[in-house]
Structure 1
Amino acid sequence: MNAPKDAPDDLRLRRATADDRPAIIELCRQALGWKAGEPNEAFFEWKHDENPFGPSPTWVAEDEGGTLVGLRTFLRWRFRRFDGTTINAVRAVDTATHPDWQGRGIFSRLTLGALDDLRDDSVDCVFNTPNDKSRPGYLKMGWQQVGKVPVSVRLTGPGSIAKLAGARTAAEKWSEECSVGRPAAEAFADHDAVEALLARIDTGSHIATDRTTEFLHWRYRFEPLRYRAVSLGTGVEDGLVVFRARRRGTAVEATICDVLTPAGTSPRRAWKALKGAGVDYLLKGSTSQGRLPLADARQGFVPVPALGPILTWRPVATPMVPAMDQLALSLGDIELF
Structure 2
Amino acid sequence: MGLPRHRSEAAGDTVPPLETSPDRGYARGRGLKGPHPWPIPSIRSTSSPDVGDADRESFESKFQWIYRDNPAGPAIVWILHDEGSRRDVGLATIFPRLFRVRGRSVRAGIAGDLQVHEGHRQAGPALQLERAAVQGAWERGIEFMYGFPNALAEPVMKRIGYRRVGPRARYVKILRTAPYFARHRGTALWRRPFGFIVDQFLRARDLQAARPSKRKLASGPLAGFDDRFDALWGEVSDAYPVLGERDSSYLRWRYPTVGREAHGVFGLWDRGTSDLRGYVVHRRQGGSVDVRDAMAPADPEIWSALLAAFSGWAWGGGAHSLVWTGLQNEMLEQLCLKRAAFLRRPDSLHVYAFPGPSVAAGDPDFMNSAPWMLFQSDDDCP
TM range (shorter): 0.7 to 0.9
Instruction: Give runs of aligned pairs for residues 30-109 of structure 1, distance below 5 A.
Output: 36=55, 39-64=58-83, 66-82=86-102, 84-103=103-122, 105-109=124-128
Query: What is the SS of the residue equivalent to 2:256?
Result: coil
Alpha-carbon shift at residue 287 of structure 1 (Å): 7.1
Instruction: Give runs of aligned pairs for residues 1-337 of structure 1, distance below 5 A.
Output: 1-6=26-31, 8-18=38-48, 21=49, 24-26=50-52, 29=54, 36=55, 39-64=58-83, 66-82=86-102, 84-103=103-122, 105-161=124-180, 181=221, 186-188=223-225, 190=226, 192-201=227-236, 203-221=238-256, 223-233=259-269, 237-246=276-285, 252-262=287-297, 263=299, 264-265=301-302, 266-267=305-306, 268-284=308-324, 285=326, 288-289=329-330, 292-293=333-334, 295-304=336-345, 306-307=346-347, 309-318=349-358, 319=360, 321-334=366-379, 336-337=381-382
Q: Distance in 1 between matches of 2:95 and 2:288?
A: 25
CA RMSD of aligned residues (A): 3.1
Q: Distance in 2 between matches of 1:293 and 1:210?
A: 22
Structure of greater Rg: 2
Alpha-carbon shift at residue 311 of structure 1 (Å): 0.8
Cα gap change, 1:69 to 1:274, in 2 (>3 Å): same
CA deviation digits over 1:77-136, x for unaligned, max 9?
A: 121023x21222101011222334333632221111222221111211110011222212
Q: Distance in 2 between matches of 1:274 and 1:309?
A: 28
Q: Can you give the 5+ residue segments of structure 2 that lack an aligned partner in the other structure?
A: 1-25, 33-37, 185-219
Cα gap change, 1:296 to 1:115, in 2 (>3 Å): closer
Q: Distance in 2 between matches of 1:97 and 1:137?
A: 13
CA deviation digits over 1:26-63, x for unaligned, max 9?
A: 18x5xxxxxx4983321122011111111111100123
Query: What is the SS of the residue equivalent to 2:63?
Result: helix
Q: Distance in 2 between matches of 1:282 and 1:12?
A: 47
Q: Distance in 2 between matches of 1:335 and 1:164?
A: 34
Q: Can you give the 5+ residue segments of structure 1 that lack an aligned partner in the other structure?
A: 30-35, 166-179
